[in-house]
């Protein structure tokens, strides 16, 4: 028995070593190993910040203490490239639902079905391969100090007017995604451009005012909190809400014309080493996504898509339409138009 335990431990260590070497070119932003009481370790590649996702991992290990979790954080484009290129992860979680859909469409995801997956709304799963567990709006976060004395706009038309009328406040003080490198930023931008005629006017105005470009929501929110930015456009609402709960310098701008609502999704890659443990993790994640009490986790459940502010626009649907802007020619045309607007 002792020999068997040692052998299993060595196997786990070798698996982690091989996993690390297989993704040596992957740009990992954060990583933590949550050891279990047993020998099983599942590797999770995710765009969700460790601080946001850790409460779920700890709860999962209370219920499944024998399963260890090797949780690695990367950008949505890095997650996509790693799974596309065959890196051996047991679960891939991403905020860029279009890139996840493309992975499934290209054969990089396994099919999985369970009573839990079948309980998902039809709009929250795709062919038993891609599964949504949150519905998260893109929001605009502002600095209370920098907005002192200014009326709060209620629509993007009013926001455009505010930016035009107060160049001294907003010059070099607006943040938004660099859609050339941010998969989530590209998703938000293409969906908004597709559905709203204000997107390009707002982009040209922000570009003319020297908008700063970012890879990630958290960095934009940090810079609004510090006062470097007066406004950050299209950041993740879940990150903004969590930060505002502990930082009263920030405020979410309530824009009532529409909301772009992203579905955070998970899939089991075709290269997964422990499909059984990954399925346990996935089912528990989807159960969390279907909960009735949003307050129990910073990531909002799928039910958030039914809120009044989300109905006017979201959620973005899982389906072939997500591939339109991933087409090479369409992507090139969009990025050229975006560059003309933002990089003035």
One-character DSSP codes across 62-104: HHSTTEEEEEEE--HHHHHHHHHTT---SEEEES-HHHHHHHH
Mean pLDDT score, 66-73 = 98
- Closest alpha carbon to 103 in 291, 326, 332: 326
pLDDT of residue 13: 45
pLDDT at site 316? 87
Name which of 245, 230, 269, 244 is nearest 81 in CA terms. Answer: 269
Q: Could you tell me the two tokens for 259?
A: 């909301």
Q: What is the pLDDT of residue 59?
A: 96
Instruction: Tell me the helix, strand and coil percentages in the chain, rounded to 5.
Output: 50, 20, 35
**What would the pLDDT profile of 47-68 be if each residue is shown by its tens digit?**
999 999 999 999 999 999 999 9
Confidence of residue 297 (pLDDT cuts 50, 70, 90): confident
**Beta bridge partner(s), residue 94:** 265
The dotted CATH code for 136-261+325-342 is 3.40.190.10
Least confident piece of the model among 184-193, 227-236, 286-295: 286-295
DSSP 236-300: EHHHHHHHHTT-TTEEEE---S---EEEEEEE-BTT-S-HHHHHHHHHHHHHHHT-S-GGGSSS-
Average pLDDT over residues 180-208: 94
- What topology does CATH give the domain 2-135+263-311? D-Maltodextrin-Binding Protein; domain 2 (3.40.190)
Q: What is the pLDDT of residue 21?
A: 45
pLDDT for 294 beyond 90: no
Q: Which two tokens stand for residue 116?
A: 């839990």
- What is the spatial distance between Cα 180 and Cα 319, in angstroms, rounded to a whole number? 23
Of 206, 303, 203, 210, nearest to 263 (Cα)? 303
pLDDT band for position 6 (50/70/90)? very low
> What pLDDT score was predicted for residue 48?
94
Give residue 314's pLDDT: 59
In the predicted model, is pLDDT for residue 5 greater than 60? no
Of the candidates 233, 168, 150, 163, the residue with the CA atom closest to the CA atom of residue 205: 163
pLDDT for residue 2: 40
With residue 105 as reference, give the H or E element that holds it: helix 97-105
In terms of average pLDDT, the best of 199-203, 246-250, 294-298, 314-318 is: 199-203
Helix (H, G, I), strand (E, B) or coil at 171: coil
Give the C-alpha separation, 172 to 128, whole Å: 45
User: What is the distance between the alpha carbons of residues 281 and 344, in angstroms, rounded to a whole number?
Assistant: 46
Model pLDDT, residue 111 = 97
Which pLDDT does position 344 carry in this prediction?
A: 75
Two domains, one topology: 2-135+263-311 and 136-261+325-342: yes
pLDDT above 90 for 160: yes
d(CA 243, CA 22) in angstroms, rounded, equals 35
pLDDT confidence of residue 307: 56
What pLDDT is recorded for position 65? 97
Taking only the tens place, the pLDDT of each residue in 124-153 is 999 999 999 999 989 999 999 999 999 999
Q: In terms of DSSP bridges, do strands 250-253 and 261-267 run parallel, antiparallel, or are they unpaired?
A: unpaired
Handedness of CA 270, 273, 279, 282 (dihedral sign): negative
- What is d(CA 124, CA 133) in angstroms, rounded to the nearest whole number? 8
Give the pTM.
0.86
Q: Give pLDDT, residue 18.
A: 47
Domain ranges of the chain: 2-135+263-311, 136-261+325-342
Q: How confident is the model at residue 3 (pLDDT cuts 50, 70, 90)?
A: very low
CA distance 33 to 315: 33
Please give the pLDDT value at position 10. 44
Cα(31)–Cα(54) distance, integer angstroms:
11
Contact yes or no for 126/107 (Cβ under 8 A): no
The pLDDT tens digits of the residues spanning 229-283 come to 999 999 998 899 889 989 999 999 988 888 889 999 999 999 999 999 999 999 9
Q: Is the pLDDT of residue 117 over 60?
A: yes
What average pLDDT is seen over the chain? 90
């Amino acid at each position: 028995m002792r020999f068997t335990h040692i052998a299993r431990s060595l196997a786990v260590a070798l698996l982690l070593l091989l996993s690390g070497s297989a993704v040596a070119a992957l740009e990992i932003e954060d990583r933590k190993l949550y050891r279990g009481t047993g020998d099983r370790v599942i590797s999770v590649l995710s765009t969700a910040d460790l601080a946001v996702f850790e409460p779920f991992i700890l709860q999962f290990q209370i219920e499944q203490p024998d399963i260890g979790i090797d949780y690695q954080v990367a950008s949505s484009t890095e997650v996509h490239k790693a799974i596309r290129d065959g890196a051996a992860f047991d679960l891939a979680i991403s905020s860029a639902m279009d890139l996840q859909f493309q992975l499934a469409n290209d054969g990089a995801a396994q099919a999985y079905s369970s009573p839990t997956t079948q309980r998902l709304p039809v709009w929250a799963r795709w062919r038993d391969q891609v599964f949504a567990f949150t519905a998260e709006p893109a929001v605009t976060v502002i600095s209370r100090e920098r907005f002192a004395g200014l009326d709060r706009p209620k629509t993007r038309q009013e926001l455009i007017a505010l930016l035009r009328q107060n160049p001294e406040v907003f010059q070099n003080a607006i943040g938004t995604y660099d859609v050339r490198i941010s998969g989530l930023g590209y998703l938000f931008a293409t969906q908004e451009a597709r559905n709203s005629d204000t997107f390009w006017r707002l982009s040209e105005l922000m570009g003319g005012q020297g908008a700063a470009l970012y890879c990630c929501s958290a960095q934009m929110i940090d810079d609004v909190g510090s006062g470097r930015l007066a406004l950050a456009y299209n950041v993740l609402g879940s990150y903004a809400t969590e930060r505002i709960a502990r930082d009263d310098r920030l405020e979410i701008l309530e824009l009532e014309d529409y909301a772009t609502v992203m579905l955070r999704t998970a899939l089991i890659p075709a290269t997964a080493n422990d499909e059984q443990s990954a399925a346990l993790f996935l089912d528990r994640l989807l159960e969390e996504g279907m909960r009735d009490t949003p307050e129990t986790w910073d990531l909002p459940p799928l039910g958030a898509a039914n809120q009044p502010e989300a109905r006017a626009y979201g959620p973005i649907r899982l389906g072939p339409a997500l591939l339109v802007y991933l087409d090479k020619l369409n992507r090139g045309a969009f990025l050229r138009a975006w560059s003309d607007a933002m990089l003035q």
